[in-house]
A and B are shown apart, each in its own frame.
Chain A
């Protein structure tokens, strides 16, 4: 074992050397998202080339910089030049960058996103001025994409574990005070003040206490926690130590979803490194504090993100919630006082301890302090992971940072909070992002999922989507949740199939209230939110479905009919061949027709009809829609 002080010194030297390395370095974003975008193939080419041509260069795999829409991303260090970040780097581009920039004189400005370090380079601006980054305040994500997540020295060199040492120095009481003063609230969804939960647990009788890190990230459309763990696992683990120390816990658990194999791997590695550094085990850093950590893999059940269900799952049973009180802080894992904290809440702790509560609370609104990460996805130009000060408006996030809606489409709504949240309509984009205002609008802040919806998204379909999710994931313990979600889902299915009645809307609202009031856990209590917010803001769209049998977004397939334009069809027969039910007929080289009684509304003909003809069009109610490609063609003609 190396002493921590020794490790700090070595880390400093290693890091400084890396900063003015005499050899070129490629920092390749190889988190799950980077790999999905093709980073693995690019890495393979790069490594192969370096080996074959004996180029003296270093390749380091880093986490995600958050500009996922430009992945694969690479930061290139060329000795004597400022570091440059490049986007959309495939196998060919990386070799070009190596040959032309690193070994030549052309910095490849065409792929450059900006300079990461100071200095001049023809035609390349500052990375921090990139439109997606300009408005961000990256604190929790400060290391993501810049350090090697598998090398603990990188974390140590960037003030790693200083927050924990500070906590050891000032003691648990003062640490709690500091966290209280920072105003930190839980980032897992509900926004409960972190210090208060700690206070309960500390005051609870009994020697044995537990801390659980909730890395279940159940919101289907969110990846903040995955990114943070993959990019900077030690930041989360330092938070775990600080919380464990303050609570007087002896054992911690990390409950991570099994869908995140890379995150689990990085956590395992990092925990091993902590042991090496004397940051886990008996009498840590001679402070008298003993603590150990175990990773528990989830087994695929959304409800296990709920505190009491999560506990039941760790205990080895079915992950079913139980009534509270008693709260886990009094009686949790194996009946002992237990605090459960989200990954990002914990990731904030080192910052608070190291920089002080005052620094932390510089950003944020009256009731919501600090910064928050959001997974920006859906119909937005720049998708990825962003970190913004709380109190920023939705508009700023979607337009300034996200770059607005692609393909000249119109923004319709923003979904926050996943299955527990709701849809905030376009006219409310001046809303500030904080716990209270989002709740007032009928949604919740949630853990950070932010899905942008445009005119091509049907709100009835979105409500149906979330309901089918919660209905499937309901553990079935309480009747209002089990039966109510199914009843709401079947009404929504009727409506989207064109068989709804106006009375259904009131019925939906009544059942929603029952489910909200009568459910035991948060899953049931919040399950109606997507339905209620869409009813509140998009009632007209429901009415269209019911009264006019039309889906204005052309999503609800039962309400869409497909037709062939006689004047455009040349009878090439492509649609007739692809149609799975043989609903299309016609003689060769003569216009074809679709038999509406046979058609199953799959839309295969529409996507198959060659662009030059674009003869297939759609109808829903009295609305007709031609494809954009056809309009474009008509314009140019």
Chain B
């Protein structure tokens, strides 16, 4: 936290980069981090929340181990991206925007990842899976499920 704070000294315009760095480091914006940020920048916590809640990027609870992002951009939509999302929701037993109970998966909807030519697209962590089908998605997800059990 300290090195993040020391990087963008006191400029109001650094607020968003600040929040981005904190989220990158800790995975989310905790109350503690925001309080600390508020103290060292003289921007009230209220104001910080005001800015942070405006942008969909920021989250206020710890993320799951893997983040599954299902593209709902136009190109993916017209190639049945909605069905892919339904399928993932069913398999993980959560809705978009939620985290599985065991905190293994986050599920997010995103608008276009820039791979429209290969629609529909699903991203797990940083890996883009193109030309998804309802059938393919379960093998993709099980890859990640498998990986965790091995880790333990």
Mask: chain A, 255-270; 1 = CB below 8 Å from B; 0 = not: 0001111000000000
Across the interface, which residues of B come within 8 angstroms of A377, CB to CB? 74-75, 116-117, 119
Verify if A221 is at the interface (C-beta below 8 Å from B): yes
B114 touches A385 (CB 8 A): no
Interface residues of B in 1-59 (CB under 8 A from A): 11-17, 19-20, 50-51, 54-58
* Nearest CB in chain A: distance from B29 CB, A: 12
**A376 CA / B74 CA spacing, docked (Å):** 12
Q: How many residues of chain A are within 8 Å of chain B by beta carbon?
A: 58
Verify if A35 is at the interface (C-beta below 8 Å from B): yes
B111 touches A302 (CB 8 A): yes
Across the interface, which residues of A come within 8 angstroms of B20, CB to CB? 258, 297, 299
Mask: chain A, 579-602; 1 = CB below 8 Å from B; 0 = not: 010000000000000000000001
**A415 CA / B75 CA spacing, docked (Å):** 10
CB-based nearest A residue for B81: A465
Interface residues of A in 225-264 (CB under 8 A from B): 226-227, 258-261
A217 touches B117 (CB 8 A): no
Across the interface, which residues of A come within 8 angstroms of B111, CB to CB? 220, 302, 469
**A48 CA / B110 CA spacing, docked (Å):** 35
Among the 9-residue stretches A12-20, A309-317, A387-395, A504-512, the one with 4 or more Cβ atoms under 8 Å from chain B is: A309-317
Given A221-B73, A318-B51, A607-B134 in contact, is the A462-B114 Cβ separation under 8 Å? no
Across the interface, which residues of A come within 8 angstroms of B137, CB to CB? none
Verify if A368 is at the interface (C-beta below 8 Å from B): no
* Nearest CB in chain A: distance from B61 CB, A: 17
Given A36-B128, A465-B74 in contact, is the A69-B17 Cβ separation under 8 Å? no
B78 touches A32 (CB 8 A): no
Interface residues of B in 107-149 (CB under 8 A from A): 110-119, 121, 126, 128-130, 134-135
Verify if A300 is at the interface (C-beta below 8 Å from B): yes
A260 touches B17 (CB 8 A): no
* Nearest CB in chain A: distance from B18 CB, A: 9
Given A302-B111, A451-B75 in contact, is the A37-B116 Cβ separation under 8 Å? no
**A572 CA / B143 CA spacing, docked (Å):** 29
**A318 CA / B57 CA spacing, docked (Å):** 13
Across the interface, which residues of B come within 8 angstroms of A457, CB to CB? 78
A33 touches B15 (CB 8 A): no
B50 touches A318 (CB 8 A): yes
Across the interface, which residues of B come within 8 angstroms of A453, CB to CB? 78
Across the interface, which residues of A come within 8 angstroms of B77, CB to CB? 221, 465
Interface centre among B58, B76, B78 (most CB of A within 10 A): B78
How many chain B residues sit at the interface, stated as a range, is: 35 or more
A32 touches B128 (CB 8 A): yes
A33 touches B118 (CB 8 A): yes
**A217 CA / B117 CA spacing, docked (Å):** 16
**A580 CA / B87 CA spacing, docked (Å):** 11
Given A36-B130, A69-B117, A316-B13 in contact, is the A222-B54 Cβ separation under 8 Å? no
**A95 CA / B81 CA spacing, docked (Å):** 34
* Nearest CB in chain B: distance from A32 CB, A: 6
**A141 CA / B47 CA spacing, docked (Å):** 43
Across the interface, which residues of A come within 8 angstroms of B129, CB to CB? 36
Across the interface, which residues of A come within 8 angstroms of B17, CB to CB? 296-297
B55 touches A301 (CB 8 A): yes
Which of A33, A297, A602 meets B86, CB within 8 Å? A602
Verify if A378 is at the interface (C-beta below 8 Å from B): yes
Verify if B99 is at the interface (C-beta below 8 Å from A): no
Across the interface, which residues of B come within 8 angstroms of A375, CB to CB? 116-117
* Nearest CB in chain B: distance from A449 CB, A: 7
CB-based nearest B residue for A475: B54
**A223 CA / B76 CA spacing, docked (Å):** 13
Interface centre among B113, B115, B128, B135 (most CB of A within 10 A): B115
Verify if A78 is at the interface (C-beta below 8 Å from B): no
Interface residues of A in 513-565 (CB under 8 A from B): none
B13 touches A315 (CB 8 A): yes
**A220 CA / B74 CA spacing, docked (Å):** 6
The 5 closest A-B pairs by CB, nearest first: A221-B74, A68-B117, A299-B55, A36-B128, A220-B73
Can you spell out 28 A-B residue pairs with CB atoms less than 8 angstroms apart? Answer: A32-B113, A33-B118, A36-B121, A68-B115, A220-B72, A220-B112, A222-B116, A223-B117, A226-B114, A227-B114, A259-B113, A260-B114, A296-B16, A296-B17, A299-B19, A300-B55, A301-B55, A316-B14, A316-B15, A318-B50, A378-B78, A383-B116, A384-B117, A385-B117, A415-B74, A453-B78, A465-B77, A469-B111
Which B residues contact A (CB, under 8 angstroms)?
11-17, 19-20, 50-51, 54-58, 72-79, 83, 86, 90, 110-119, 121, 126, 128-130, 134-135
Beyond A33-B115, A301-B55, A316-B15, 9 extra complex contacts between A and B, CB < 8 Å:
A33-B118, A217-B114, A221-B77, A259-B113, A377-B74, A377-B119, A383-B118, A465-B77, A466-B74
Which A residues contact B (CB, under 8 angstroms)?
32-33, 35-37, 68-69, 71, 217, 219-223, 226-227, 258-261, 296-302, 313-320, 375-379, 383-385, 415, 418, 449, 451, 453, 457, 462, 465-466, 469, 475, 580, 602-603, 607
